[in-house]
Amino acid sequence: MIKEQIEALRRELEQHNYNYYVLSQPTISDLEFDMKLKQLEELERQYPEYADPSSPTQRVGSDLNTEFRQVRHQYPMLSLGNTYSEDEVRDFYERTRRTLGGDFELVAELKYDGTSISLTYEDGRLVQAVTRGDGEKGDDVTDNVRTIRSIPLRLHGDYPPRFEIRGEILMPWDVFDALNREREEQEEPLFANPRNAASGTIKLQNPAIVASRRLDAYLYYVLGDRLPADTHLGNLEAARSWGFKTSDAVRLCRSLDEVYDFIHYWDTGRKNLPVATDGIVLKVNSLAQQRALGFTAKSPRWAIAYKFQAERALTRLRSVSYQVGRTGAVTPVANLDPVQLSGTVVRRASLHNADIIASLDLHVGDMVYVEKGGEIIPKITGVDASARVPGSEPVGFIGTCPECGTPLVRYEGEAAHYCPNENGCPPQIKGKMEHFVSRRAMNIDGLGGETIDLLYRNGLARNVADLYDLRAADLARLERLGDKSARNIIIGIRRSAQVPFERVVFALGIRFVGETTAKKLAYAFKSMDALMQATREQLMAVDEVGERIADSVLAWCADPRNRDIVERLRAQGLRMALTDDQLQAHSDRLAGMTVVVSGKFSRHSRDEYKAMIEQNGGKNTGSVSSKTSLILAGENMGPEKLKKAEKLGIRIVGEDEFLAMLSGEE
């Protein structure tokens, strides 16, 4: 029984580690994870006969991405032990005092909530940036880190010839909010918090996108053989003089009371900072004393992290309202008595779907717990049932669309309810137009949500084809628009006629047809006419098109209103078929093959190779499995992928061989 409990905990923690470090999509809080880890540690201590070197207690969680070159750390990047109470801080303080047998100083710093990075400088120049990874080795993300303006590429002052400095890469709150607004407009999944956003960004393969996200960094620890000071604080001050961004929120503490004062001040003060923090870090100041204290297998004995509790507030649920998105998905929103939470006034919280409402057993007028913590989007985490007013009305999910009154539907396997009236429901009509003009669809500048709403309210556009009938004079008369803006919008509309056919298919907003599926449909049927005449069987023969997508495409194509829109767009010159160049580049040479692209390439980018695979009938996938047909390998191919490919006997080809395959020369 105990063995099964230990193994179950290990499996659960391994999954959470994967969610957090690989997917950057944690499903439990840090506190919940730490409590489970401590439970496992205690069980393994009590029952050493079940010890396992692969247990989560024996390793540091990994954020390795095997698409990057792996670099071994000169000094291991270990994690800090976490504490959640002042009593545990006192225990650390007293334990340190007893071990050292005398006086010592602690440096108290803010614990920034981002993604850890180690920077190496030689002769004053940044030569390498490596993620924490598994503590022993990490990903070389130097090209991406060079885009972060707060990280100096060249130092000034009297710095050592070679040293390492560690810190945290962060996404500021205002950048995070703007990024999530953009993702919401595109109906993409939102980042849960700035930490996930920063972690996901630094692992992108395109440094240009990394640069556009305006990441920041705070540096907090210097390592090397010839450091300027024999104290941690002295080296931080030196690093600042060399050009590094270090925190102003640092205090030298000579007593436990001074540590508590720092904790109490920043538990409130952190809420006004431009970046996310989730606690404080205490480090012994003297480097000699640090060496005397040493390390455990996973953590330094001379440092500890104190984690702030996620802020929670109790407030009253006044009502539940419902929002309709572009796809017709209906999202319930809790309307609350205003309450101060994490530096902002919260009046609304998402309830996500009907299942969440049911699990909370919500009643109108309930006192509910609202939590933000590291999450920017407030959520209701519980109900104070003891404060419920007798006879209060349970919250039941609505049955009809709040905008147009159409009965809602819930598709099999979906958590959300949908309004099926896609051509008559105002939010869906406007949402379809917003999607149509978006950057990855028709890319028409100047037609944002507010302008689309203006056009709709003034009767100038009720579907996407109406946009091509707009005249500059009509636009110039609208509120907040003038002659110049009107001309620019018309120019953007005209230019969109050059957008390739696969993006036109995506822009049409067929339910369940995303960017990738649109491309597959475009290359499978070659023209809009062929796509609109396709049978269910023909649609399902396309890679990744199942029953749900096939039925949605059939329903869309069968609607006379959609057929009319297609003809009007065709008349305006939009591309309704693949071009000759696209057809010539397309072949079936990789038909039926699943290809993994890994490493860095010199002749084409990774995205270009992925496009070639699709154009030649192949399928891209990110992971190696028994279904993988071929691996296109560049320099520094991920070691885990190489190992798995060799084990499975999968063919590996380089750039030249792959291009020869596509040209028919092989």
Query: Catalytic residues, which ones?
Result: 111
The span from the CA of 252 to the CA of 459, in Å, is 65
Q: DSSP code of 277?
A: E
Kindly calculate the radius of gyration of the chain based on its CA atoms and give it in whole angstroms: 28
Give the number of residues written for the chain.
666
The span from the CA of 295 to the CA of 232, in Å, is 17
Query: Are 466 and 460 within 8 A, CB to CB?
Result: yes
The pair of structure tokens assigned to 128 is: 């390498």
Closest-CA residue to 655 (of 640, 633, 626):
633
Residues 6+ apart with CB under 8 A from 570: 528, 576
Q: DSSP code of 286?
A: B
The span from the CA of 184 to the CA of 176, in Å, is 12
Amino acid found at 362? L
Cα→Cα distances 463→76, 436, 441, Å: 58, 10, 15
Closest-CA residue to 77 (of 130, 38, 125):
130
Query: Are 487 and 500 within 8 A, CB to CB?
Result: no
The span from the CA of 445 to the CA of 590, in Å, is 37
Beta bridge partners of 335: 319, 348
Q: In 113-204, where do the E strands start and end?
A: 115-122, 125-131, 137-139, 162-170
538: left (phi over 0), alpha (psi -120 to 50) or beta: alpha
Closest-CA residue to 31 (of 374, 351, 378):
374
Q: 470-480 b/e with 16+ CB inside 10 Å = b?
A: bebeebeebee
Closest-CA residue to 284 (of 304, 299, 264, 267):
304
The span from the CA of 424 to the CA of 404, in Å, is 7
The pair of structure tokens assigned to 211 is: 């640069």
